[in-house]
Structure 1
């Protein structure tokens, strides 16, 4: 036992001596000539560096580099290890580019251990143009039905009058950036851009820049990088059918929403509501059918469905609009209690009969008044005729002469 401990101690001491000797004989310097090149890909830039001169002629050791850069979109540091002398990454060009590098050396020259250089950092400040308030706000993109994508924005609070905005985009299958294929207007002002599906690329950085100019001065550009598959909004779910399969279960079925969203990428949210309840009860499914429990057969059950791209195809996405509710009539209805439709029809019939009765009453009243007027006219005519006849009789009757004295 004591012999084994002594042997282990000797080996550790020997290893320490070897490391110390390696540290004394090999000096690891950090990379040199660190710089960033921008090929015009709207934020997709290249970081370059060179091997330190002290490490160019060491064949017995491998030289690698540890790169860290600050992701301006995620807001944290990302690190990699590589043997190359360049690396491409995505940055918001309106924010500082921060890069940290160190050299890693390992091999016979270091007795198999890894020796690191000190860390060097590059900070490249952005070239800001235009006032901060001239930059657009509220940039938002929606990939409708996996068929076309609309990106919209609002004018900056300090955007000069008579400004003209331009949108450019780029992805890895494009050689150079291109201008918006179809601008969207509001009151004659550019407020968005529509991208047909053939101009998009899923599962890759899709870079956008919106800049502009005005008679006063340039506008501050805005840079964005997005994954288009995370902005999909499916169409409304159609053709809902609700049928009774038992006394306690209803079967809900629907068809896929129209569009180009793959079937395996969709998930559905089903909401049900019974009777006069205001609350909807939510369930999730990846199928186009759902079994709805119906405990109280006297209640009317209503269902609605919406969809989105689930996390097998995209980390996030937009819910579609809700479908029109589909309701199941009461399985057992009370014949003595009229339905709402019957009640409405009865009310309309009662109103129509009331109007008819009023019209008949008014017509009857009018006829009675005219008849009374006609009868009164005949009586008046008879009275007048009697008076006239009496007057004529009085005129034709002979009278005695007065006495003449």
Structure 2
């Protein structure tokens, strides 16, 4: 037992001497020549550094680097370990770029332990142009039906008059940034950009820059980075059908909204209401991934109405926009149906009234035409009698002998 303890003590002491010697003989310096290059990808930049000269000729050890950078969009630090000498990351170019680096050394030269250098930091301030109030505000993007995306903005509070705004965008499948394919205008001023689906890329950083110029000076640019699948707004749900299954259950069914949103990416919210129409309140909310839903109906005399809206499920996107509500679909009230005409009956009654009106007008016009014709015929007979009388009187006058002017 004592021999084993002595042996273990000797091994620990030997290992400590080796580590101490390694610490004395191996100098671990931090990376050098740290800099950031911007290829014009609107915030997607490259961080570069160089291996310290003291570690270039140590074949028995591996050199790695611990990189940390401040994510200006998330507001926290992100760290990685890599053996490369560069790394690409996303930054808001209107804020400082902060990078921290240290060298990690491990191998025979350190007896298998990892030795770290001191940490060095790079802070690169943004190149601010234009006044702060000339920067646009209220930037917002909506990816309608997974078919096209509209990004809109408002003018900055100190934007000079007669300014012209420009939007540029970039994603990883583009060689360089491009200008907006279709601007949106309000009162002749550019207030947005419409992106067709072929110009977008889901599940990747989509970088946008809105800048501009004016006769007075340049405007301060605004940079944004987004994931387009997080901004989807589906179309309105259509074709709702509500049928009675039992005395206590109604069956609601609808069709998928129009658009290119994949079926498995949609979830639905169903709201139901009932009671006195003057006091209708949407009172039940239910979530489902199906296009059917069983609606409880406790009071058979109660009029039940349902409406549906949809959004992208969290399996396809973390966040998204709800669609607008569908038109309500209601189950008619049996009591009301016996006392009041339904909409269909009302329409049929109106059609019948119109048909009867047309028939009466036609009969009236025919009767009027017959009366006029009869009147004209009677007038023709009276005229013929008068003419015959005149002709007879003329003949009588001609046949009567006249007396001679000379009387013998």
Q: TM-score range by the shorter chain?
A: 0.7 to 0.9
Relative to structure 1, the CA distance from residue 365 to residue 117 in structure 2 (aligned partners, 3 Å threshold; closer, same or farther) is same
Structure 1 residues 13, 331: CA separation in 2 closer, same or farther (over 3 Å shift)? Answer: farther
Per-residue CA deviation, residues 118-168 of structure 1 (Å, 9 max, x unaligned), is: 000000000000000000000000000000000000000000000000000
User: Matches of 1:337 and 1:99 in 2, distance apart?
Assistant: 75
SS at match of 2:351: helix
Give the whole-Å Cα distance in 1 for the aligned partners of 2:50 and 2:3: 50
Query: Which segment drifts farther, 168-177 or 364-373?
Result: 364-373
TM-superposed CA distance for 1:392, in Å, is: 47
For the structure 1 residues 193 and 6, does the alpha-carbon distance in structure 2 shift closer, same or farther, using more than 3 Å as the test? same
Counterpart CA distance in 1 for 2:237 and 2:337 is: 33
Moved over 6 A (4+): 336-405
* Superposition deviation, residue 265 in structure 1: 0.3
- For 1:185-200, what aligned pairs fall within 5 Å after superposition? 185-200=185-200
- Distance verdict in 2 for CA 1:291–1:379, change over 3 Å: same
Q: CA deviation at 1:17?
A: 2.1
Does the 8 Å CA contact 1:269/1:285 hold for their aligned counterparts?
Answer: yes
Shift of 1:274: 1.8
Cα pair distance change 1:277/1:316, threshold 3 Å: farther
In structure 2, relative to structure 1, the CA distance for the partners of 1:278 and 1:316 (3 Å cut) is farther
Deviations 1:310-363 (A, max 9, x none): 110001000000000111113566846888999999999999999999999999
Q: Secondary structure at the match of 1:146?
A: coil
The CA deviation at 1:381 is 39
Q: Residues 61-115 of structure 1, C-alpha deviation per residue, up to 9 Å, x if partnerless?
A: 1000000000111111000000000000011111100000000001111111110
**TM superposition shift of 1:20:** 1.4
- 1:295 matched to which residue of 2? 298
1: distance between equivalents of 2:402 and 2:196? 122
Decide which moves more: 138-147 or 322-331.
Answer: 322-331
1:373 corresponds to: 376
- For residues 289 and 121 of structure 1, the distance between their equivalents in structure 2, rounded to whole angstroms, comes to 57
Shift of 1:21: 1.6
| Partner Cα distance (1:397, 1:175) in 2 | 125
How far apart are the structure 2 equivalents of 1:81 and 1:325? 56
Higher mean C-alpha displacement, 18-27 vs 154-163: 18-27
Which stretch of structure 1 is more off in the superposition, 378-387 or 35-44? 378-387
| 1:349 aligned counterpart, secondary structure | helix
Q: Structure 1 residues 146, 14: CA separation in 2 closer, same or farther (over 3 Å shift)?
A: same
The within-5 A match list for 1:327-342 is 327-330=330-333, 335=338
Alpha-carbon distance in 1 for matches of 2:375, 2:202: 90
Q: Which runs of 5+ in 1 are unaligned?
A: none
Task: Find the residue that maps to 1:335 and give its secondary structure.
Answer: helix
Give how far 1:287 is off: 0.5
In the TM superposition, what whole-angstrom CA distance separates every residue of 1:153-193 from its partner, at most 9, and x where no partner exists? 00000000000000000000000100000000000000000
1:59 partner SS: coil
Question: Any unmatched runs of 5+ in structure 2?
Answer: none
Deviation at residue 375 of structure 1 after TM alignment: 33
Q: Residues 211 and 219 of structure 1 are in contact (CA less than 8 Å); yes or no, is this contact kept in structure 2?
A: yes
Contact 1:105 1:114 in 2 (8 A): yes
Give the C-alpha shift of residue 388 in structure 1.
44
Q: Using a 3 Å threshold, how does the CA distance of structure 1 residues 172 and 389 change in structure 2: closer, same or farther?
A: closer
* Contact 1:298 1:330 survives alignment (8 Å): yes
Give yes or no for contact 1:297–1:332 (8 Å, CA) kept in 2: no
Aligned-pair Cα RMSD in Å: 7.6
Shift in Å at residue 278 of structure 1? 8.8
Residue 14 of structure 1, CA deviation: 2.8
TM-score by length of 2: 0.82
Secondary structure in 1 matching 2:5: helix
CA-CA distance at 1:275 after TM superposition:
1.4
Asked whether the equivalents of residues 298 and 333 of structure 1 are also in contact (C-alpha less than 8 Å), the reply is: no
Structure 1 residues 81 and 399: CA distance shift in structure 2, 3 A: closer
Cα separation, 2, equivalents of 1:404 and 1:313: 137
C-alpha distance in structure 2 between counterparts of 1:106 and 1:294, whole Å: 71
- 1:11 CA drift (Å): 3.3
CA–CA distance in 1 between the matches of 2:260 and 2:26? 60
Shift of the 394–178 alpha-carbon distance from structure 1 to 2, 3 Å rule, reads closer
Describe the superposition over 1:187-226 as per-residue Cα deviations: whole angstroms up to 9, x where unpaired: 0000000000000000000000000000000000000000
Indicate the larger mover: 326-335 or 267-276: 326-335
Q: How many residues in Structure 1 have an aligned counterpart in Structure 2? A: 405
- Secondary structure of the corresponding residue to residue 277 of structure 2: coil
Q: Give TM-score, length-normalised by structure 1.
A: 0.82
Counterpart Cα distance in 1 of 2:330 and 2:30? 71
Cα distance in 2 between the residues matched to 1:60 and 1:318: 56
- Whole-angstrom CA distance in 2 between matches of 1:52 and 1:197: 47
Closer, same or farther: CA 309–401 of 1 in aligned 2, 3 Å:
closer
